[in-house]
Structure 1
Amino acid sequence: MHPTPTSGPAATNGRVSFWYAGAPLPERRPPLPGDLQVDVAIVGAGYTGLWTAYYLKQAQPDLRIAVLEKEFAGFGASGRNGGWLTAALPGQFRRFAARGEAVAVAMQRAMIDTVDEVARVAAAERIDCDLRKDGELSVATNPVQQRRLLDRLPALRREGWGEEDMVLLDQHDLADRVRIAGADTALWTPHCARIQPAKLVRGLAATVERMGVRIYEGTEVTHIRPGAAVCRQGTVRADQVVRGLEGFTARMPGHRRTWVPMNSSLVVTAPLPPDTWREIGWQGAELIGDEAHAYCYLQRTADGRIAIGGRGVPYRYGSRIDTRGETPAVTQVQLRDLLHRLFPATAGTPIDHAWSGVLGVPRDWCATVGLDRSTGLGWAGGYVGHGVTSANLAGRTLRDLILRQDTDLAQLPWVGRRVRRWEPEPLRWLGIRALYTAYRAADRRESAGLGRTSAVARAADLVSGR
């Protein structure tokens, strides 16, 4: 008999994220002291900006690089995400693969290599970020999800996934790894690792500082133009200016409709007791996601908790952002109840922390990176939830573009890709709200036993461009 489900809000809500709960928020570095001249100015001290600085400085140590950050390094999605270092393709590249296009295979192999590249750098630079590469489980929790997962296998083959890259697990194989209520099929891939996001971004920031990169925190960039990043404290002039703001891109003048800030919310339990872990059977550090349309994502943390995330309130009118990261009570309840459905043994474990962050979503759900050599303006983002891996690949790609290196990375299909702009308000808000209403309705119908993928979800995919 399982304990009575816990109720009430999380003990802590917001305050950036749980990943910073083990220590005080970092003391801010000094802001920009005034006008400055550098070779490369990078706007945003998240994974994208810091990886770009790391690889540029490694390739050409004499480069003068300044990273400009409104809050502190890791304040945005880099310090709030679910800790998935996954090789899953970002966004619509899966559609390219479905058409048999070789560019999708190149992109997929690059993402697979990037998982190991992040692990390599973390080890080389002694960044302790709880990294453990036990792979990823995509789990079907009802018959419709099972059919959808099986139908996806041919497309994965076309994307370049070999026999060693994915293993189909039946109910007994899955139970040997983890026991999830209602799940009898899963797809496992080794190309995914768990990380502690804040530890990675803070370690990376400290590393690039030791290399000679200057990070200015408490420094808001108000305008980006060719040759300059204009801040409240002064103007940073540079041959190249790179925008790496991801979900905060909409705040930059001229970019409100470039990528929408899509909200994702997480809750994390208190540490689970040993008998609960024995009942669940999740002894490794596999990352777990389901096959629902409004999907969830989970990790077992290094200190024995379960973190679970989902979309919650996906979008706020006018591309507004709640920087405090507070999560509405209704979203906390939804995530808590989902956790209890997947793992009934957790019903008596309280939720310790809830938080939210934003990710950048292009209109066609397809990430992009590029450099306009005529203006010196660079960009990367629109990772649609795959930013931990994609940002590293983007940083290495920006290095090659800035240094004018004609490499395989510089030829990847996301380089220079211009995406369609989002509709103006109120169409943007209405469309996104309708989209997620449709996905949740589809999930409810499928859970009730609908025999195939809901037509509602298929229609939503066509409208959204996913």
Structure 2
Amino acid sequence: MKDYQPFWFKDALQREGDLHTITLSTDISMDLCIVGGGYTGLWSAIKIKEVCPELDITLIEAGLCGSGASGRNGGCMLTFSTKYPSMTKLFGTAEAKRLVSASEEAVFEMAEYCKQHNIDCDIRIDGTFYTATNPAQQGSMESTIQQLSVAGVNRWKQIPTADVQTLAGSKLHLEGHFSGAAGSLQPALLARGLRKRAIDLGIQIFENTPMQQLIEGQPAKVITPQGTITANKVVLATNAWMARQFKEFRRTIVLVSSDMAITQPIPDALNATGLTSGAAVVDSNTFVHYYRSTPDGRLMLGKGGNLFAFANKMLKAFDEESRFKPILYRAFRRFFPDISTDKIETTWTGASDRSVTGLPFFGFFRGHKNIVYGLGYSGNGVVQTYLGSEVIRSLILERQDEWSQSGLAKGPRGRFPIEPFRWTGAMLVRGAIRRKEAAEDNHQPPFWIDKQLAKLAAAAGKADK
């Protein structure tokens, strides 16, 4: 295990106490092998085992379960509702409505599941605020809310500005909409709790066991350093690492950082702002600012879209303290001028697998009906992985239902340009977005070219929470 551990994961391991891990050291045969010990892999293993307890299932993880994106994201439980306009274009109105409703129901289902199975992950279903922090952002939710209302699936309500400023804890907000179908949790605690639940169900978990090679066929073979797993079926759930492992995914995602800072416990300062709930707060930038409190009185703030990886390489910067502290600290001072940045305890960063559409995608690997994959959560994976596991379960069990027939289960919808054009384009768009949003924050008109370039990223929706 690497020496560096981001805040949430380090906290989760400290609470867990003594680690009891097993590394695969022999050849085994299984009904199902799941590769990847994050949310996607763990939820899939659990859901398949719960309906088919007779199956022998093993899960392998290159590090420790939850040590990737699942253990270091912002812990914001957000839904597909803000993606509704783009989903209608991609999947049609009926499927878009179903996915919005399913994602909102999933928020409450996850909370109930954690309660039933004693997964203590500081989960709080206190909703979310989507806000505008400058005049240019005002009205940005109107079209989405109108379309949701026409479809009969709108949970958003506009909140008076004074109330938003109080409830969301910052005078920077000029406008806000609230939905109760959202919340926050400690992400690494959820991952480690799911790991325990999986083990309790009889699923074998091998950590510090990376997949070195996948040999396709029936059965398939998963090669690891000290043993081979022969499995009738395989789930590939390594998400951001998929592009490195398999060439067909290299242009389906872009690895981009989401960077976060968290304070020491400051309950009195938080109470003074009014942010006393576990609501997730998200602004209307293209690469958003997001923040939320914790039950022990900390304040976490994050910013998406900072570091783009050339050729989707898993950069060292994705596994260390944030290189974008000035951006995080500047945002912190804008949102919370009365709280000193001296209260920030640490920062960290992580890789997000952003797809062309901003939506995850699933399918059969290279057409093999016994090998299923899922990735592309685009920074919105806390709730969406729960739904993704529904897709994976249906595909693995060969069910003909709404999940196996979902628009999400048709593979990637579009591809990024080849390198170096992808990275060069990403840098061009990122620079344009930064200039555009800086101008808007200063109540100045942005350059026309920056507005046009920013639309290229906005088309896929906001991400990285």
TM-score, structure 1 as length reference: 0.89
Are positions 1:247 and 2:237 aligned together?
no
- CA shift at 1:203, angstroms? 0.6
Asked whether 1:95 is paired with 2:86, we answer: yes
Letter paired with 2:167 = R
% identity of equivalent residues: 27
Q: Are 1:400 and 2:389 an aligned pair?
A: no
Q: Quick one: distance in 2 between partners of 1:183 and 1:75?
A: 34
Aligned to 1:409: 403
Counterpart-to-counterpart distance in 1, 2:60 and 2:271: 47
The CA distance in 1 between the partners of 2:368 and 2:226, in whole Å, is 27
**How many angstroms does 1:431 deviate by?**
1.5
Residue 8 of structure 1 is matched in structure 2 by none
* 1:26, distance to aligned residue in structure 2 (A): 6.9
**CA-CA distance at 1:342 after TM superposition:** 0.7
SS class of match (1:266): strand
Residue of structure 1 equivalent to 2:139: 147
Taking structure 1 as reference, are residues 260 and 459 closer, same or farther at Cα in structure 2, changes over 3 Å only?
closer
Deviations 1:419-445 (A, max 9, x none): 333322211211211221121111012
The letter for the 2-side match of 1:74 is G
| CA contact 1:249–1:258 (8 Å) conserved in 2 | no
One-letter amino acid of the counterpart of residue 416, structure 1: K
* Conserved? CA contact 1:435–1:464, under 8 Å: no
Q: For the structure 1 residues 102 and 158, does the alpha-carbon distance in structure 2 shift closer, same or farther, using more than 3 Å as the test? A: farther
Q: In structure 1, which of residues 411, 421, 425 is the aligned counterpart of residue 419 of structure 2? A: 425
Question: 2-side partners of 1:320 and 1:138: how far apart?
Answer: 32
Secondary structure class of the residue paired with 2:409: coil
Q: What SS does the aligned partner of 1:239 have?
A: strand
Structure 2 contact 168–275 (Cα < 8 Å) conserved: yes
Q: Is the deviation greater in 381-390 or in 407-416?
A: 407-416
Counterparts of 1:80 and 1:278 in 2: how far apart (Å)? 25
Quote the RMSD (CA, aligned, Å).
Answer: 2.5
Q: Does the aligned pair in 2 maintain the 1:35–1:235 contact within 8 Å?
A: yes
Partners of 1:457 and 1:122 lie apart in 2 by 43
Equivalent of residue 268 in structure 1, options 248, 262, 269: 262
CA shift, 1:160, in A, is 4.7
Q: Which moved more, 1:219-228 or 1:47-56?
A: 219-228
Q: Unaligned stretches of 5+ in structure 2?
A: 461-465
Answer yes or no: is 1:341 the counterpart of 2:331. Answer: no
Q: Distance in 2 between matches of 1:140 and 1:229?
A: 48
**Structure 2 Cα separation of the partners of residues 151 and 60 of structure 1:** 43
- Stretch deviating more after TM superposition (346-355 or 377-386): 346-355
Number of residue equivalences: 449
Identify the residue that residue 463 of structure 2 maps to in structure 1: none
Q: 1:285 to 1:463 in 2, by over 3 A?
A: closer
Separation (CA, whole Å) in 1 of partners of 2:56 and 2:406: 27
Q: Kindly provide the amino acid, as one letter, of the partner of residue 85 in structure 2.
A: R
Given the superposition, is the C-alpha separation of residues 79 and 313 from structure 1 closer, same or farther in structure 2, using an over 3 Å criterion?
Answer: same
Partner of 2:428: 434
1:7 alignment partner in structure 2: none
Q: Which one of the candidate residues 21, 31, 55 is aligned to 2:10?
A: 21
**Offset of 1:318 from its aligned partner?**
2.6
The alpha carbon displacement at 1:359 in A equals 1.6
- Kept in 1, the 8 Å contact 2:281–2:292? The answer is yes
Return 313-322 or 119-128, whichever deviates more.
313-322
Q: 1:181 aligns with which of 167, 171, 178?
A: 171
CA distance in 2, matches of 1:170, 1:453: 31
Tell me the distance in 2 between the aligned counterparts of 1:313 and 1:277.
27
Q: Distance in 1 between matches of 2:87 and 2:271?
A: 42
Could you tell me how far apart the structure 2 residues matched to 1:259 and 1:90 are? 20
Tell me how far 1:176 sits from its aligned partner: 4.0
2:348 matches 1:355:
yes
Q: 1:4: which partner in 2?
A: none
Greater relative CO (CA pairs within 8 A, separation 6+)? 1
Aligned mates of 1:366, 1:241 — CA distance in 2: 23
Where does residue 11 of structure 1 map in the other structure? none
Whether the 8 Å contact between 1:43 and 1:69 is mirrored in structure 2 is yes
Q: CA deviation at 1:273?
A: 4.6
| Structure 2 match to 1:390 | 384
Change (3 A) 1:278 1:112: closer
Q: Aligned letter for 2:25?
A: P
Which residue of structure 1 lines up, in the alignment, with residue 122 of structure 2? 130
In 1, distance between residues paired with 2:441 and 2:127? 26
CA spacing shift, 1:158–1:319, aligned 2, 3 Å: farther
1:221 matched residue in structure 2: 211
Picking from 61, 73, 86, the partner of 1:69 is: 61
CA drift at 1:51? 0.3
Distance 2:457 2:181 in 1: 31
Change (3 A) 1:420 1:152: closer
Alignment pair present for 1:193 and 2:183: yes
Aligned letter for 2:237?
G
Q: 1:211 to 1:454 in 2, by over 3 A?
A: farther
Equivalence for 2:290 = 297
Unaligned runs of 5+ in 1: 1-13
1:49 and 1:81, CA in 2 relative to 1: closer, same or farther beyond 3 A?
A: same
Q: Shift of residue 299 of structure 1?
A: 1.1
